[in-house]
Structure 1
Amino acid sequence: MAVAARATGLSKVYGQGDTRVTALDAVSVEFRRAEFTAIMGPSGSGKSTLMHCMAGLDTISSGSTRIGDTELGSLNDKSLTRLRRDKIGFVFQAFNLLPTLTALENITLPMDIAGRKPDPAWLDMVVSTVGLSGRLSHRPSQLSGGQQQRVAVARALTAKPEIIFADEPTGNLDSRSGAELLGFLRESVQALQQTIVMVTHDPVAASYADRVVFLADGRIVDEMREPTADAVLDRMKAFDAKGRTS
């Protein structure tokens, strides 16, 4: 399969001297198109830093990051902003919806700002996939937390991005709403051929992915395909045990 995003020898260092911290240490990883990847690891392992660097939200210290064939380091600020707007979708733990806009207006807002019209057929398919057909005229205050997060997912999908980065997207949801959202993400990969990279600490959430990449101390230390919640939990317990004995 084609590669939607790639990091090669990616390092991220914060501070200098005694305060120097290496958040990512020569990480090389690929995320393939139409695949759902979960990124997991202990607290402080570099999960969110990896996602932010690959999405162009944070600068890198060395190495390279690409979205499709585009090298992010070669772009000026204006070009990078345009690439994030046109090629990347974001879903964060906070829903980031505007309270005065309806669900539909929140979904199409990024495209409205860019001066583009959404593809009506694609928009209908996205709205149907995330189960919002009967809620488009509602404002965020009239929606449950799970419905608000679905609006955020639909907003990310509507512009047909090459890749969606999701940072703990179920963190503010109850277990039922979280399961629904993960089901929608899974469906968007299968039905809409979307590419998703999700940072999570939850083995159940990771079990919805095609593949799990494990980080520890800023390095990729393992990978698992066709994960189950139990298998992911066992792998995480092994990391914890190794950390306590090292």
Structure 2
Amino acid sequence: MTTAVTKPATGGNGARSAVAASAQQLVKSYGSGETRVVALDHVDVEIARGAFTAIMGPSGSGKSTLMHCLAGLDSVTGGRVWVGEQEITGLKDKKLTRLRRDRIGFIFQAFNLLPTLDALENITLPMDIAGRKPDKAWLENVIATVNLDGRLKHRPSELSGGQQQRVAVARALAAQPEIIFADEPTGNLDSRSGAEMLRFLRRSVDQLGQTIVMVTHDPVAAAYSDRVLYLADGRIVDEMHRPTAEAVLDKMLRLAADAPEPGDDVHGTASNGTYRSAS
């Protein structure tokens, strides 16, 4: 039987850890032998609490896999993962499900809305399952910000793709979880609605201390974050603080230019390529 391990808080003074999620020597691979594919290659990372972190990298770099492992949505091949001070590596399904329900919010391109529920019921569903009542003022603020006021009684089939994405975003924010993991949260929104959404995510960090981790390919979206982590070939190869869209785009272009040719050995010895991010 696997027992969850508590990770000591930084400083040892009993104060709440400043780290919302972390991983040590995280490995995720698929297959075996010659067909083995390494998606994450001995990754060490810490996600600061109360900050907005963006994860970027070329297609196939492992950015979504990293997010899924940190969020407890995917098992790991090796290494350890924590949410706050609780290790989630090896947690039984029931405990892991409860942790995700109570402490984590999710925004994915697949909206995962229940077709039999209306928009408002989809938004409050995680809290209903947990037996918690939403903060009415906050819920109204979330709904107004994502422009769903006239659509709350509509079911997903009666909403456009962009409106369904807004419901998914509102659902993640409404419960005010410890950390929100977002996979291209503005991918199905027009530029104006996407900018509104990103400003709201930014405000939720600045004003409410929300922690957000966002996978994105968009330099403009990444510029709303406090810190950008860059992945290449399953490793964190760089990071940027206080990013601008121009600086992010320049970095992404340089990463693309440095990408190995097909057939090159991109997963050599981990000790030669592991990047340890600053805390």
TM-score, scaled relative to structure 2: 0.81
**2:145 and 2:197 in contact (8 A); partners too:** no
Match of 1:160 in 2: 176
Instruction: Identify the range of structure 1 (211-220 vs 89-98) with the bigger mean alpha-carbon deviation.
Output: 89-98
Following superposition of structure 1 onto structure 2, how do residues 25-40 of structure 1 map, counting pairs within 5 Å? Answer: 25-40=41-56
- Give the C-alpha shift of residue 115 in structure 1: 2.7
Matched to 1:206, the amino acid is A
Give the SS at the match of 1:73. Answer: coil
Between Structure 1 and Structure 2, which shows a larger proportion of helix residues?
1
**2:223 and 2:243 in contact (8 A); partners too:** yes
**1:9 and 1:28 in contact (8 A); partners too:** yes
- What 5-or-longer segments of structure 1 have no aligned partner? none
2:58 aligned residue (42, 48, 62): 42
Matched to 1:91, the amino acid is I
- The whole-number CA distance in structure 2 between the counterparts of 1:186 and 1:147 is 20
Matched to 1:48, the amino acid is S
- The whole-number CA distance in structure 1 between the counterparts of 2:243 and 2:30 is 33
Match of 2:241 in 1: 225
Match of 2:75 in 1: 59
1:192 aligned residue (205, 208, 211): 208
Q: Which digits, 9 at most, give the CA deviation of each residue in 1:28-82, with x for residues without a partner? A: 1111122111100011110000000011111111111111111001421110010
Match of 2:128 in 1: 112
The answer to whether 1:122 aligns with 2:138 is yes
TM-score, scaled relative to structure 1: 0.92
- The whole-number CA distance in structure 2 between the counterparts of 1:226 and 1:211 is 6
Match of 2:84 in 1: 68
- Give the C-alpha shift of residue 193 in structure 1: 1.8
Aligned positions, number? 246
Change (3 A) 1:144 1:181: farther
Match of 1:172 in 2: 188
Larger Rg: 2
- The whole-number CA distance in structure 2 between the counterparts of 1:141 and 1:192 is 33
Match of 1:90 in 2: 106
Change (3 A) 1:28 1:168: same
